[in-house]
Amino acid sequence: MDQSHTPFLDRVAGPADLRDFSDSALEALAHELRQETIETVSRTGGHLGSSLGVVELTVALHAVFRTPFDKLIWDVSHQCYPHKILTGRRDRMHTLRQGGGLSGFTKRTESVFDPFGAAHSSTSISAALGFTIGRDMGQPTGDAIAVIGDGSITAGMAYEALNNAGSEGRRLFVILNDNDMSIAPPVGAMNTYLNRLNMPHASLSEVAQGFIAALPQSLREQALAARTRACGGPPDATMFEHLGFTYIGPIDGHSMPDLLATLRVAHARAEGPVLIHVRTVKGKGYAPAEASECCYHGVAKFDVASGAQSKSKPNAPSYTAVFGRALTDEASRDPTIVAVTAAMPNGTGVDIMGKRFARRVFDVGIAEQHAVTFAAGMAASGLKPFCAIYSTFLQRGYDQIVHDVALQNLPVRFAIDRAGLVGADGATHAGSFDVAYLANLPNMVVMAAGDEAELVHMVATAAAHDAGPIAFRYPRGEGMGVELPERGKPLEIGKGRVLREGSMVALLSFGAHLAEVMLAAEALEARGVTCTIADARFAKPLDTDLIRQLASHHQALITVEQGAQGGFGAHVLHYMANEGLLERRLAVRTLTLPDRFIEQASPAQMYADAELSADHIARAALNALGIETLSRQEKRAIL
């Protein structure tokens, strides 16, 4: 076949093929890869801006290093779409972030080219050092390369790893992908200088020291300022160098000649740890992404020509928006209310408060541990901090929740977004464990909103609660469409509510699965099974009067929650066992997420996989009563 007219991307079965390409061919390949990434994400949705920013870097890394023997580790890994296309998954990219399809992040079980899974930040350098130690102790692995963004490197874990890696002094590569710092534009002199370093004894320290000297006089001052600002130290000794790294940069991350020359010299001559500072543009090469405030960080399906996203119009406001507005309303009446978030002001809704009370909203970067203790300090000072963090990310600050908040009984208010299963982001972002890991802590109050109106009341409850720490959880996506109150009213701590009364089955719901519980009750009523629907509101303290009443007047009690085993249902069972309520003729079932991770799909499909659909709830109730399960017609009626 005549390859002269064959697209370069069609000639790539794997990264090894890139090592036979000329430098000009690699540059052309990068252009094709960028266009394919845009086309792919336009059909699937996903993390576009971050992936477009590392196209040239991805090509250069795979061309220079011997992946998969050399371990390429992407921090967060939401920028890994070009990497996936080049590593044998191009024909499956149409399944990205869908049920049974490719993950939106790196995943060890998906490919040998994904040596370490990620979706949370700041883990890459630690993992890369682990591979480095393995190599030096005889394991069959080559070099380790960590690609970490300027946001991720703000987290404490990244600095802990840099400190350890610098102390070890082993050959290791860290690529700092800088797409946001306000430093001087990258310049093209790096390639000129590196190409002169072919003498046998040229070292990487000479590369770093000689870089600025090789620049034209007109650019030398800019480079000195850039290096100082990027590294927090004088130009002759960067912070990274003080930690034991050879520092090179900043270089233009979209210049294939500069990238290839830098990586080749580093690969050939490195003896210890090296940090290469690469400047990139998030959303590079796609005008709508570059012009967007968020650079199309996360997008729905979109039209490539216009950039218009095909997001459906919501029927109700999102829980996140409801929280943001309720918090702002409370803050308008109480000047001691402040908000803390860890690099997610838009995602958590605190940006709404920030637009009105900018000096009372604090974004600490990707630093959940710091966020929690920072909030604890503000609470100790007499302020009323709302610490707004996704459930999956709050896990990273658990020691601080225990030691700095709960132990000292400080009134930090935890607003926990993305509770439950979240869809396309999959298991890495699921809010599965917060009820279990919070409700076992002394002094902690744990709430969950059954609908968006309840969320408004829980914000007011948290604002009014000064007796100790309090948390409330709510899901991703739009609410049920209930009427919202003009102003939240504090709930009585530890008291639930009864929404419907029956005599046979008590459905005790905790949190946002209330809508599914209502659907299950409709199906059961159609079978002649009368149901009581209760919204627990609190996992801690439990409404023990409500539980006792439900246990005393029904044949079966079913608890339902969007959380892992060991959460609300476990606390209910513990109370009932100790009170002797399980010794009477009462059938009890606790419906939770199963003891496994639920893979990506739509939220409805994920809850069906977890056996928490309305059909499953109804079946559990019928099973508890000893009644045959639903017919096909009845199942269709509730779907």
Q: Which residues are catalytic?
A: 282, 368, 396
- Based on its alpha-carbon atoms, the radius of gyration of the chain, rounded to whole angstroms, reads 27
What Å distances lie between residue 598 and 76, 100, 283, 406, CA to CA? 19, 11, 31, 30
Q: Count Cβ atoms below 10 Å from residue 637 Cβ, excluding itself.
A: 15
The alpha helices in 102-177, defined as continuous H runs, are 124-136, 156-168
Q: How far is the C-alpha of 562 from the C-alpha of 432, rounded, in Å? A: 7
Q: How far is the C-alpha of 490 from the C-alpha of 66, rounded, in Å? A: 60
Q: Count the residues in the chain.
A: 639
What Å distances lie between residue 344 and 51, 332, 358, 382, 389, CA to CA? 19, 22, 15, 25, 8
DSSP 299-340: B-SB-TTT--B-PPPPSS-BHHHHHHHHHHHHHHH-TTEEEE
Strand order in the sheet with 246-252: 71-74, 144-149, 172-178, 273-279, 246-252
Is the separation of the CB atoms in 64 and 74 below 8 Å? no
Q: How far is the C-alpha of 544 from the C-alpha of 224, rounded, in Å? A: 66
**Sequence-distant (≥ 6) Cβ neighbours of residue 441 within 8 angstroms:** 401, 402, 406, 469
Q: Where are the beta strands (DSSP E) in 353-494?
A: 361-363, 384-390, 413-417, 445-448, 470-473
Is the separation of the CB atoms in 82 and 88 below 8 Å? no
Could you give the angle at which helices 568-578 and 544-553 cross, rounded to 10 degrees? Answer: 70
Residue with tokens 């905790």: 510
DSSP 431: B
Is the separation of the CB atoms in 537 and 499 below 8 Å? no
DSSP 514-571: HHHHHHHHHHHHHTT--EEEEE--EEES--HHHHHHHHHH-SEEEEEESS-TTSHHHH
